[in-house]
């Protein structure tokens, strides 16, 4: 939806979702009731949220090419205390 075709009440839905954390479906129902306008408000809010990228200007760090990190680094795992560790028992 473009700015010129936004349904009435879309700013209210945006306010409720941003300031109070109300999900778009519930915010649209609060603004428009059970009318078909609620569906248009939900679509408009999801499109607005999709278009907004709060991290657009933040650079993304690149992983080191030289440092190898194993997928299963067992040294940093906590041992289970309720079960007997039978590793190496033979």
> Is residue 21 a part of any domain in this protein?
yes
Tell me what pLDDT residue 4 has: 53
89 part of a folded domain: no
> Does residue 56 fall inside a structural domain?
no
Contact 28, 13 (CB under 8 A): yes
Please give the pLDDT value at position 86. Answer: 65
79 within a domain of the structure (yes/no)? no
The two structure tokens encoding residue 18: 């941003």
The structure's pTM equals 0.53
Q: Is residue 65 part of a domain?
A: no
For residue 10, being part of any structural domain is answered with: yes
Residue 27 lies in a domain: yes
For residue 45, give its domain range: 3-51
Q: Which run of H or of E encompasses 49?
A: helix 37-51
- The CA–CA distances, whole Å, from 83 to 77, 86, 87 equal 15, 9, 11
Q: What is the domain count for the chain? A: 1
Successive 10-residue mean pLDDT values, the chain, 90 residues = 71 93 92 88 90 79 69 62 63
């Amino acid at each position: 939806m473009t700015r010129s075709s936004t349904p009435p009440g879309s700013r209210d839905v945006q306010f409720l979702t941003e300031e109070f954390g109300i999900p778009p479906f519930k915010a649209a129902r609060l603004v428009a009731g059970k009318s078909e306008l609620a569906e248009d408000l939900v679509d408009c809010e999801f499109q607005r949220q999709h278009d907004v990228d709060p991290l657009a200007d933040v650079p993304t760090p690149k992983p080191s090419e030289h440092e190898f990190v194993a997928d299963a680094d067992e040294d940093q795992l906590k041992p289970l205390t309720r079960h007997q560790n039978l590793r190496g028992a033979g």
